[in-house]
Amino acid sequence: MAMIILGALIPVFGLILLGYGCGRFDLLGDRAFEVLNRFVIAITLPVLTFRSIARMDPADLAQPSMMIAVVGGALATYAIGFAIEKGLGRSGGEANIAGLCASFSNTGFVGLPIALLTFGTDTVAPVAVTMLLYSAVVFTVGVVMSEMAASHGDGMRAGLMLAGRSVARNPLILLSSLGVVWCLLRLPLTGPFDVLLSTLAQATAPCALTAIGIFIALPREKTAPGPIGRALVLKLGVHPLLTAGFILLLPPMPTLWAKMAVLMAAMPSGASSFVLAGKAGRWAMELSAWAVMLSTTSASLSLIAVLWWLGA
């Protein structure tokens, strides 16, 4: 089991190390991480989300208990992370990134391979639904909070209007909605068009993780361990426990779907928090980059315990 987990995590470290080398030796320029972030958030991540949803069986969207557990566990964890950092004097934008680091899981690049190797091919549907919920709901909350924080004290109404306009034009939200429609209408997704989408989708994790490595290589101020430690505890401990709590309180769902909800919650922080961190400033970027890297390292141990608990 340990080798399965390490096998899924090694590519994450490899891409971060690649990015670090590019940044350390200035192979791509000191603004490369910003360009890669924009590429991910505007193109590859929306395409990945659309393709994942569009190719689903519509019946897989009819699991309300699982959906509530996934969203409830993630948003409850986000709220805790946000409230802690806001209470400690951080800005709304910084607290937003702290919440995302604690609640947005790396389901595609780490979660799906581990699920497939430990529980088999039947896990594809519940993992795909979880990916949809994290991208379309949890990340949307992050986008809205980011835009509200960027309103710079112009008032709640102005912040909400700005956030609403941003969400309405956000490629991730638009393509997520299109994916749901595509799925429900059972439209085909084949041929060269699907090959193009697949190629773009597969670039998401490499670009985001390489960008993190480039950022880590840049000159930086000393990183405070407290916020990073809190993010790790919330992500790898509190998030899966809250998700399991929702599952116990909700009407029964298929056992495998319940296990996948908890397993995906136990995954390390996804790199998506980093693509929003730029708007929140240097502190948020430091927190996100180190939370992704250190939660991935720590998950090599914590996931063994979670998989044993789930009966893998």
- Strand partners of residue 269: 105
- Phi, psi of 105, deg, nearest 5: -90, 150
The SS3 assignment for 280 reads helix
Could you tell me which of 238, 222, 240, 236 has the C-alpha nearest to residue 283? 222
Q: How far is CA 183 from the centre of its chain?
A: 22
pLDDT value at residue 301: 84
- Global confidence as pTM: 0.80
Split the chain (312 residues) into runs of 10 and give each run's mean pLDDT.
Answer: 72 85 85 80 82 82 90 97 95 94 87 82 84 84 80 57 65 82 91 94 83 76 80 97 97 94 94 80 88 87 89 73
Could you tell me which of 240, 214, 204 has the C-alpha nearest to residue 293? 214
pLDDT value at residue 153: 53
Q: In sequence order, which residues have a C-beta less than 8 Å from that of residue 73 and are 6 or more positions away?
A: 239, 240, 242, 243, 244, 245, 246, 261, 265
Instruction: Look up residue 192 and give its amino acid.
Output: P
* Rounded distance between C-alpha atoms, residue 305 and residue 167, angstroms: 38
Distances (CA, A) of 294 to 44, 52, 102, 243: 24, 27, 12, 22
β strands within 32-84, DSSP E: none
* Rounded distance between C-alpha atoms, residue 209 and residue 197, angstroms: 20
pLDDT value at residue 287: 92
pLDDT value at residue 158: 58
